[in-house]
Amino acid sequence: MDKDGQFEVSNFKNALGKYYFRKVGPSSLEFKIATIISKIPHPNIVNFFVINSISLDMEILDTEFQISNEAKALKLITDMKNARNHLLSNGIVYIDWKLDNIGWSEEEQVFKLFDFDVSGIYDIKTSRWINEPEKYFAYNLAVKNNITDPIGIDSFNFNKMVDELLMEF
């Protein structure tokens, strides 16, 4: 459990025989998005086991991974592009793109996205918000750059993450 008592890695297995990571106290929007995602699983998005308004139980990922070469960076970018396309085509705008919110699955040899705390839901037909997320750092950074539409805000932060990652090599 973290200092706020909000996160917990279980020492025991769930009904599926797997250890899990429990995030306690999701916002109502994060709970709603996790519920949608659990119905449309994707190899590059964290797998949710049990979801309710009090806590989200999900697979445990390695969050200490190192991006030691360009090939690994490109793998992360490709995996996240796939996650992003899947989310957008299902009406979910991620926004908070950063390495802190990505984990490595040793079992599946893929990167996976987690933390839908500041993500939103948009209307695929009109590209307008249905559930606009709270405006935190990533959202506000796009707005400061005169980008205000949901997909634009998402692209801005995704591209920023990619640029920062590739700058290392």
Give me the residues that bind ligand ATP (CB under 6 A), please.
7, 21, 23, 46, 58, 60-61, 63, 100-101, 103, 114-115, 117
Per CB under 5 A, does 25 bind Mg ion? no
- Give the separation between CA 29 and CA 35, rounded to whole angstroms: 10
Shortest gap between Cβ of 124 and ligand ATP (angstroms)? 25
Q: Which of 47, 101, 105, 157 binds Mg ion (CB under 5 A)?
A: 101
Q: Which of 143, 78, 142, 133 is nearest to 109 (CA)?
A: 78
Per CB under 5 A, does 149 bind Mg ion? no
Name the residue type at position 152: G
Is the Cβ of residue 101 or residue 105 nearer to Mg ion in the bound state?
101
Is the Cβ of residue 2 or residue 126 nearer to Mg ion in the bound state?
2
Sole residue written with tokens 């899990």: 20
Per CB under 5 A, does 119 bind Mg ion? no
Burial class of residue 39 (count of CB atoms within 10 Å of its CB; 0-12, 13-18, 19+): exposed
- Give the separation between CA 101 and CA 113, rounded to whole angstroms: 6
Selection from Mg ion, ligand ATP, none that 63 binds (CB < 5 to 8 A by kind) is: ligand ATP
